[in-house]
């Protein structure tokens, strides 16, 4: 499996984004997802899904909102590899989303937001 640059994409962090500390890395279950809340109780409140995979020892963050079922459920999906790419399968109707790009595998016209992640001092930080 190729290493998708550890997906620490600091260069992609735009000016209105900040690194937000979410939790300790060791609090994330391995090869499974959890949901996290960014900007709670503000107009920018956003749900993300965080996945820590042993495939390349990386952490990914994507939107938690499944556009097909319109429910916040992607953190509860199963992680997959499709060829060389990592994806999560929606637990509702099983569409797959690329963890690195947010692209849906079943429907080209659908993609979801992804968020830069970095690990610092054993903490997981997400830019948002």
Partner 1 sequence: MSNKQRVLVIGNGMVGHKFLEAMVNSPQYSAFEVTTFCEESRIAYDRVHLSEFFCGRSADDLSLVEPGYYEQHGIRVLLGDKAVSIDRSAKTVTSEKGEVLSYDKLVLATGSFPFVPPIPGHDRDNCFVYRTIDDLEDMQAAAKNSKVGAVIGGGLLGLEAAKALVDLGLETHVIEFAPRLMAVQIDDGGGAMLRQKIEDLGVKVHLGMNTQNIGDGDERFHKMSFADGSEIETDMLLFSAGIRPQDALARDCKLELGERGGIVVNDHCQTSDPDVYAIGECAMWSGRIYGLVAPGYKMAQVACDHINAEDNAFSGADMSTKLKLMGIDVASIGDAHANTPNAKEYTYVNGTEEIYKKIVVSADNTRLLGAVLVGDAADYGTLLQMALNDIPLPEFPDALILPQRDGNGATGMGVDMLPDGAQICSCNDVTKGQLCQAVSDGATVLGDLTLATNAGTSCGGCKTLVGQVLNNELEKMGLEVNTDICEHFPHTRQELYHLVRVGEIKTFSDLLAQHGSGYGCDICKPTAASILASCWNDYVLEPEHLGLQDTNDRYLGNMQKDGTYSIVPRIAGGEITPEKLIVLGEVGKKYNLYTKVTGGQRIDLFGARLEQLPQIWKELVDAGFETGHAYGKSLRTVKSCVGSTWCRYGQNDSVALALQIEHRYKGLRSPHKIKSAVSGCTRECAEAQSKDVGIIATESGWNMYVCGNGGMRPRHADLFATDLDTETLIKYTDRFLMFYVQTADRLQRTSTWMDNMDGGVDYLREVIISDSLGIGEKLEAEMAKVIDTYQCEWKTTIDDEEKVLMFRPFINSNKADSNVVFVEERGQIRPARKDEKELVSA
DSSP letters spanning 77-121: SEEEEETTEEEEE-TTT--EEETTT-BBSS-TT-B--EE-EEEET
By CB under 8 A, is residue 120 in contact with partner 1?
A: no
Q: Are 59 and 51 in contact (CB under 8 A)?
A: yes
By CB under 8 A, is residue 125 in contact with partner 1?
A: no
Q: How far apart are CA 69 and CA 93, in angstroms?
A: 7
Question: Among 13, 89, 100, 110, which residue sits at the site for partner 1 (rule: CB under 8 A)?
Answer: 89
Q: Interface residues for partner 1 in 92-111 (CB under 8 A)?
A: 92, 94, 96
By CB under 8 A, is residue 73 in contact with partner 1?
A: yes
Q: Residue 11 CB, nearest distance to partner 1 (Å)? A: 25
Q: Are 46 and 128 in contact (CB under 8 A)?
A: yes
Question: Which lies closer to partner 1 via its Cβ, residue 11 or residue 70?
Answer: 70
By CB under 8 A, is residue 83 in contact with partner 1?
A: yes
């Amino acid at each position: 499996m190729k290493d998708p640059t550890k997906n620490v994409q600091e260069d992609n962090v735009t000016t209105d984004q900040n690194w937000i500390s979410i939790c300790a890395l060791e609090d994330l279950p391995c090869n499974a997802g959890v949901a996290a809340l960014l900007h709670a109780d503000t107009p920018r409140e956003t749900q993300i899904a965080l996945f820590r995979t042993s495939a390349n020892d990386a952490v990914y963050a994507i939107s938690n909102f499944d556009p097909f079922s319109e429910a916040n459920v992607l953190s509860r999906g199963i992680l997959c590899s499709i060829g060389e790419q990592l994806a999560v399968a929606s637990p509702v109707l099983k569409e797959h989303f690329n963890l690195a790009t947010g692209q849906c595998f079943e429907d080209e016209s659908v993609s979801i937001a992804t968020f830069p992640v970095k690990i610092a001092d054993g903490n997981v930080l997400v830019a948002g």
